[in-house]
Structures are given as C-alpha cells and as structure tokens.
C-alpha cells in the first residue's frame, strides 16, 4: 500500500518520537541516584539519640506540612511548643529547632529540593548565617 | 447509563489492581515492567495508526473554508481561513491545534416560539481548552521527575503554575483548571440527553481514567504525601534503563502509575488518537487551491481517448471526398 505525502508523514512521526522520548535522550542515559543527605554536623554528632522530631519516613514526606502548621500555630496562635508522637517536646522554630541540628542547609535541605525542583519559600525570610544568596 | 456504569467499574478495577498485585508480591510488575510495556504500546501503536491513516488517499481538496479564497488580486482574500498555500495551512492548523478554532464556531439551537433560534455556544470550547492546556502543562511539569539536572524551563513553568502560592505544597493552577475542565466534559455527557444518547463506553472511560490520574495525583500532592526522592529514583531508573528496586512508596502512587500506564497503552486504540489525527484532518490540512492546481485522482484508470485531430487524420480523405470541412489540409 502506498503512503501518501510520505515525506511529511515521516517528518511528523520523527518529531513525535523525538518529543515523546525527551526524558530518554535528555540525560544521555546517565544514572542519577537520589542525593545522599549529610547528617554530619556538630549538633547531630553530640546527640545521644539520633532522632528527628518525628520518624524519618514521616519527616521525609511531611516536613513541609509540619513546618507550615508550626508557622501558623506559633505566629498566629502563640503556641510555641510541639509535642511529638512519642511525647518529646520541641520549640516550633525553623532556625531554633530544625536548623540547630541541620546546620548544613546546602548538604541537607538543598540537595533534595534541587533534585526535585522544590522551591520552598522558607529561606526567603529565614537567613542562614554565612550563606551567600545566589 | 449502562455505559457510565461499565466505565466506572473498569476504572475501579484498575484502582484495585495495584493493591491486589502488592498482596501477592508483584509490585515490581507495575513499577518496573508495565512502564516499558505501556510506552512501547503507546509509541508503536501511535505510529501504526498514523501510517494506517496515511495510506488513505485524499485526492481532492475537501477543505472547509470560512473565508474568501484567493482569486483575483483586487478581491481581498483570507489566507488563514481559506489558505491557498503552505504557510496558510500551517497557520490554520496551528489555530486548530492550539486554540481549537473549529470548536470556537460551535453553535447551539433552541426552539423559541416555534422557531429555531441559533446562538453561540462557547462552553465546550472553553472547558475543552482548559482541560487540554492544563493536561499539557501537568505533563511538562512532571518532567522534573524524569530529567536530571532539571532543565530551567521546567522549574520556571512550575513556578508560574504555582504563582499564587496557595497552601503548602503550592496548589498548581493547572490542577484546579483540569478538574473544572474534566467535570464539565463529564457532566455534559451525563446531563444533556442528546449527549448521553450518543456517548459510548470509550467516551466515559477516557474521562474517568484521566480523572483517576488527576485525583490520585492531587491526593499525593496535598493529602497523602509520597516520598518524592523514591519517586524520582524510580522514574530515573526507567529512563536510564537501570531499574531500581521499587521502594515502598505508597498505595496511591501505585494506583496513579497503574492509571497512567493503562492510559498510555490504550491511547492508540482509543478516540484519544485525535491527538495525532487532528494533523491528518483533510478539511484542515489541505490548501484550498483547486482553482490553481489540477489534482488528479491517483486511482483513475487510464482512459483510451480518440481526439478530433486523430479522427481527422484517420478520415481526412473520406471527409474531403464528401465535401466536409477539415481543419488541416
């Protein structure tokens, strides 16, 4: 069977395949494993019990919601203490609690955020001492 | 109503499938095998359908025009609505693909005082446009899971889409818009009796399946957050052909994947192929140049003709003898 307007049809199909397979050729097939987060900070090294506010899986998926709730509760309602599921209490503070342990923003926060193109607005107000804003 | 019921059941079965598979320890089927099967079906099926259509001859110009065609120099023509050349056709096709120009001409008719009254009907055009553009933006935003390093335009698109920074994580405008579009497209088929009458399984199923994809996606973003690092590791494993052992991500994520892969694999076999078909619409992609060019039917049988010149050559002697005038002495 004859294919009519073969040139245009083939050109269209080639463009279609190139566009659809964009993720396959864009990275040239280089594997890129998820970033390894550094927990190597002086504050964490001194901890006896290396536990975050909640368990790791919860923090990984929900930290942004937790921080959002913390902000609203502490700023708008004045409730500045957070009781974790296991009963420990923390100050609801990004700079005073989170960043005290995770003082290495570039090796901790930024690695995942860059890997996933997440652009949290936290640090447009909260300054990291010594960080040079790009 | 039967068709709505069957498509709803089909989508619910697909939603239950990942749970059933993980119960028997076959999660890897969805995370590592199904993606390749789906993309292969999609690509091969898509190309196959296009080639199938390309085999149909369209010998004559059947473009439907909505403007003055090109004729005499002092008659003002409309090169886009009635294109006479290549660039006009491209402009018309671009209008059709990006703005749904034909649908913009949609009209509605109602009987008022026993007389039919025609009026403009733009809702289908508007919600169709909303749905398609949102879907395109959502697909492009998802590229952040498939490329590393992330191209700047993907981040810029996401930033623009989440411009109003409503909630955390930010609500994307395209997510809200696609829900509006889908709801309209679905309700239109259910509420309008004429539409319900002509709607088939495939009409409802494609809408419900995409609604399933959108719903699970929104659930993951706003209500049951998934571990995005694991998601991206998995997606990067697919595109670099270095499969990653699937981590326990979440049930919603597996349902999301299952819906998408079914959508991809089913795409070429369904009405969704209008994505490729629109480029092959003869009323859109043919120039209105029948008065400038002669288009010959490719399957015309060769006709044996006997012209007057040949006739005269054959009978010239006899014609002269009987006194008939001849053109050539």
Domains of chain B: 2-321 (1.20.950.20)
Task: Tell which of A14, A23, A26, A56 to mutate to test the B interface (max B CBs under 10 Å).
Answer: A23
pLDDT confidence of residue B101: 94
pLDDT for the residue numbered B281 = 93
pLDDT at A1: 65
Rounded to whole angstroms, the Cα distance separating A73 from A92 reads: 9
pLDDT at A60 (0 to 100): 85
Which is it for strands A81-83 and B107-112: parallel, antiparallel or unpaired? unpaired
H/E stretch holding A89 reads strand A89-91
Residue B207's pLDDT is 96
A37, pLDDT greater than 60: yes
Alpha carbons B148 and A112: distance in angstroms, whole number: 12
Q: How many CA atoms lie within 13 A of B282 on its CB side?
A: 11
Which residues is B110 bridged to in the sheet? B117
CB contact under 8 A, B225 and A35: no
Q: Which of B44, B61, B90, B147 is best to mutate for the A interface (most A CBs within 10 A)?
A: B147
Nearest residue, CB atoms, B150 vs list A112, A117, A121: A117
All residue ranges of chain B with pLDDT < 50 are none
pLDDT of residue A134 exceeding 70: no
| Model confidence band, residue A132 (pLDDT cutoffs 50, 70, 90) | low
Sequence-distant (6+) residues with CB within 8 A of A64 are A120, B168, B169, B225
The pLDDT assigned to B30 comes to 84
Interatomic CA distance for residues A27 and B173, integer angstroms: 28
In chain A, the percentage of residues whose pLDDT exceeds 90 is 23
ipTM, 2 dp: 0.88
Asked whether the whole model's pTM tops 0.80, one would answer yes
Q: Give chain A positions within 8 Å (CB) of B236.
A: 27, 31-33
pLDDT at B264: 96
Q: What is the DSSP letter of B151?
A: P
Using the Cβ of A62 and the Cβ atoms of chain B, whether some distance falls under 8 Å is answered with: yes
**Contact status, residue A69 vs residue B173, Cβ threshold 8 Å:** no
Q: How many helices (H) and strands (E) does chain A have?
A: 7, 2
pLDDT reported for residue A133: 61
Say if B233 is an interface residue toward chain A (CB within 8 Å).
yes
Q: Which two tokens stand for residue A49?
A: 């019990």
Beta bridge partners of A82: A90
Angle between helices B201-222 and B251-266 (to 10 degrees): 150
- Reported as a pLDDT band with limits 50, 70 and 90, residue A58 is confident
Question: 102-161 in B: which are within 8 Å (CB) of A?
Answer: 143-148, 150-151, 154-155, 158-159
C-alpha distances out from residue B188 to B101, B144, B191, Å: 20, 34, 5
């Amino acid at each position: 069977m004859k294919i009519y307007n073969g040139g245009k049809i083939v050109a269209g199909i080639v463009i279609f395949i190139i566009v659809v397979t964009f993720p396959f050729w864009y990275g040239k097939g280089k594997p890129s494993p998820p970033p390894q987060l550094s927990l190597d900070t002086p504050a964490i090294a001194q901890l006896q019990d290396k536990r975050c506010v909640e368990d790791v899986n919860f923090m990984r998926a929900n930290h942004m919601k937790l921080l959002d709730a913390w902000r609203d509760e502490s700023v708008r309602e004045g409730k500045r203490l957070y009781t974790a599921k296991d009963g420990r209490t923390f100050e609801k503070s990004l700079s005073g609690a989170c960043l005290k342990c995770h003082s290495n923003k570039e090796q901790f926060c930024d690695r995942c955020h860059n890997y996933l193109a997440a652009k949290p607005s936290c640090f447009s107000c909260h300054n990291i001492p010594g960080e040079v804003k790009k | 109503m039967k068709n709505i019921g069957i498509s709803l059941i089909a989508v619910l079965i697909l939603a239950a499938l990942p749970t059933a598979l993980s119960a028997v320890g076959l999660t890897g089927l969805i995370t590592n095998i199904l993606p390749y099967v789906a993309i292969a079906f999609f690509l091969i099926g898509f190309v196959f359908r296009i080639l199938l259509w390309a085999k149909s001859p369209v010998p004559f110009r059947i473009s439907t025009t909505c403007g003055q065609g090109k004729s005499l120099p002092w008659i003002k023509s409309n090169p886009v609505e009635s294109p006479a050349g290549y660039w006009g056709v491209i402009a018309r096709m671009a209008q059709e693909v990006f703005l749904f120009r034909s649908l913009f001409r949609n009209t509605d008719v109602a009987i008022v005082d026993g007389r039919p009254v025609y009026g403009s009907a733009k809702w289908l055009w508007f919600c169709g446009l909303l749905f398609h553009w949102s879907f395109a933006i959502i697909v492009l935003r998802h590229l952040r899971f498939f490329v590393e390093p992330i191209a700047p335009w993907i981040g810029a698109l996401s930033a623009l889409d989440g411009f109003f920074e409503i909630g955390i994580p930010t609500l994307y405008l395209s997510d809200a818009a696609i829900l509006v579009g889908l709801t309209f497209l679905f309700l239109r088929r259910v509420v309008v009796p004429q539409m319900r009458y002509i709607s088939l399984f495939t009409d409802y199923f494609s809408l419900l399946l995409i609604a399933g994809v959108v719903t699970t996606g929104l659930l993951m973003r706003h209500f049951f957050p998934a571990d995005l690092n694991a998601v991206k590791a998995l997606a990067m494993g697919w595109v670099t052909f270095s499969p990653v052992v699937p981590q326990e991500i979440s049930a919603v994520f597996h349902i999301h994947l299952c819906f998408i892969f079914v959508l991809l694999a089913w795409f070429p076999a369904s009405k969704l192929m209008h994505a490729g078909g629109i480029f092959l619409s003869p009323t859109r992609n043919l120039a209105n140049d029948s008065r400038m060019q002669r288009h010959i039917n490719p399957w015309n049988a060769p006709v044996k003709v006997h012209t007057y010149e040949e006739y005269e050559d054959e009978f010239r002697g006899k014609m002269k003898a009987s006194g008939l005038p001849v053109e050539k002495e």
